[in-house]
Amino acid sequence: MQNRIVTLDEFIIRRQKEYTLATGELTGLLRDIGVAAKIINREVNKAGLLNILGAVGNENLHGDTVQKLDLYANEKLIECLKNSGECAGIASEENEDYVPIAPMDEKESKYLVVMDPLDGSSNIDVNVSVGTIFGIYRRKSDPSGPCVLEDFMQKGNELVAAGYVLYGTSTILVYSTGRGVNGFTLDPTIGEFCLSHQDIKIPEQGNSYSVNQGYYLKFDVEMRRYIDHCSDSNFGLRYIGSMVSDIHRILFQGGIFLYPNTRKYPLGKLRLLYECNPLGFIVEQAGGKAINCSLERILDIEPKTLHQRETIAIGSPAMVDEMKEFVERYRV
Ligand code: P6P
């Protein structure tokens, strides 16, 4: 008998019933992110047709050239989250400051969203997969007033939920609320995300590593020793240059993704709040590990600023443990 279709909405609502304390706000928030993902997907899929390719010529606050789709994705997500009435504020890669959201009909919102609206967007022009990354926190400040910066300075281990959308050969939304990881593939014929990967578990070990080999000589000696070990072990090198794509592959095939410190990025390139923490949450929920190159657990790092960068090693637990051994053995 053909498996019954379980839509994202149905799954979220069913899971909410398992939470005796659930009051539906988180459910509403997750569903609104799903709506935004469908809207973004529509534009990503026809980027080449609508002349929305190419940089708008301006740069974002980090000096990266901003692609029109970055802006579009950011606007759509903020719009959907504002309409949800469940979100008190947003921290986005595309906004220098956090975006407080006024309560709707005096209803107090208790959640916050951190997000990278379109990660890897420099790949859009060459038709390489890109992704949306999001994390959801409970606000700490008085719900009767606007959110404050401290609301966003929470460790990754305080995330209530996290997920990503990968706009690839198919569009898949993967998320966790702390009780396992599930994936939903968009069926464009019915416009629904349908359960396609239930209870995802990362392989203990993989046979590929993911790092920008071009920076090899700029890595610290202990990272070079570990990368040499991967090569000596005949591991394949897979690096797409789009973190969501690399992490998604590793979730299913196993492996390790590394972005160590370099001269250009002495603190690492990737952002703690809306790249490392949400993806670290997902990978840990799937049985994997995520640490930085100083061997601290990513989810235990105390954020100090919205856009702070972090080094990262994330993936199959046996491979992260082995990388840790190399760092301990060779670091000077
Ligand atoms: P590099 C994309 O710009 C991104 O933020 C991640 O998605 C990706 O893993 C990384 O940067 C690629 O960086 O320096 O290897 O081009």
- The reply to whether ligand 1 has any atom less than 6 angstroms from the CB of 242 is yes
Separation of CA 123 and ligand 1 centre (Å): 10
- Condensed to tens digits (0 to 9), the pLDDT of residues 135-181 reads 999 999 998 899 999 999 999 999 999 999 999 889 999 999 999 99
Quickly state the pLDDT bin for 121 (edges 50, 70, 90): confident
Quickly state the pLDDT bin for 103 (edges 50, 70, 90): confident
- The reply to whether ligand 1 has any atom less than 6 angstroms from the CB of 113 is no
Give yes or no for residue 92 having a pLDDT over 50.
yes
Average pLDDT over residues 71-88: 92
Taking CA atoms only, the protein residue closest to ligand 1 atom 4 is 120
By CB atoms closer than 10 A (0-12, 13-18, 19+), residue 73 is buried
pLDDT at residue 187, rounded to an integer: 96
Helix axes 317-330, 221-232, angle to 10 degrees: 130
Taking CA atoms only, the protein residue closest to ligand 1 atom 2 is 120
- The reported pTM is 0.94
Taking CA atoms only, the protein residue closest to ligand 1 atom 9 is 243
Separation of CA 8 and ligand 1 centre (Å): 29
Mean per-residue pLDDT of the chain: 91
pLDDT at residue 49, rounded to an integer: 55
Q: Is 237 helix (H, G, I), strand (E, B) or coil?
A: strand
Quickly state the pLDDT bin for 108 (edges 50, 70, 90): confident
Give yes or no for residue 1 having a pLDDT over 50.
no
Give yes or no for residue 274 having a pLDDT over 80.
yes
Backbone torsions φ then ψ of 320, nearest 5 degrees: -65, -40
pLDDT at residue 154, rounded to an integer: 98
pLDDT at residue 185, rounded to an integer: 97
Give yes or no for residue 326 having a pLDDT over 90.
yes
Q: How far is CA 247 from CA 142, 162, 266, 330, in A?
A: 36, 14, 22, 26
Which one of 25, 93, 192, 310 is the catalytic residue? 93
Sketch out the chain's domains with CATH numbers.
8-197 (3.30.540.10), 208-330 (3.40.190.80)
Separation of CA 261 and ligand 1 centre (Å): 13
- Condensed to tens digits (0 to 9), the pLDDT of residues 193-216 reads 999 999 999 999 999 999 999 999
275 is catalytic: yes
- The reply to whether ligand 1 has any atom less than 6 angstroms from the CB of 243 is yes
Of 12-16, 36-40, 327-331, the one with minimum mean pLDDT is 12-16
Enumerate residues 6+ apart whose C-beta is below 8 A from 154. 137, 140, 303
Q: What is the number of the ligand 1 atom nearest to the C-alpha of 270? A: 5
Enumerate residues 6+ apart whose C-beta is below 8 A from 246. 210, 238, 239, 240, 257
Q: What is the number of the ligand 1 atom nearest to the C-alpha of 212? A: 15
Separation of CA 109 and ligand 1 centre (Å): 33
Quickly state the pLDDT bin for 107 (edges 50, 70, 90): confident
Which one of 94, 151, 222, 246 is the catalytic residue? 94
Which one of 275, 279, 284, 299 is the catalytic residue? 275
142 is catalytic: no
93 is catalytic: yes
Separation of CA 119 and ligand 1 centre (Å): 8
pLDDT at residue 56, rounded to an integer: 56
Give yes or no for residue 230 having a pLDDT over 90.
yes
- Condensed to tens digits (0 to 9), the pLDDT of residues 31-77 reads 999 999 999 999 888 765 555 444 555 666 666 665 588 898 999 99
Average pLDDT over residues 241-254: 97
Question: Is 277:247 a contact under the CB 8 Å cutoff?
Answer: no
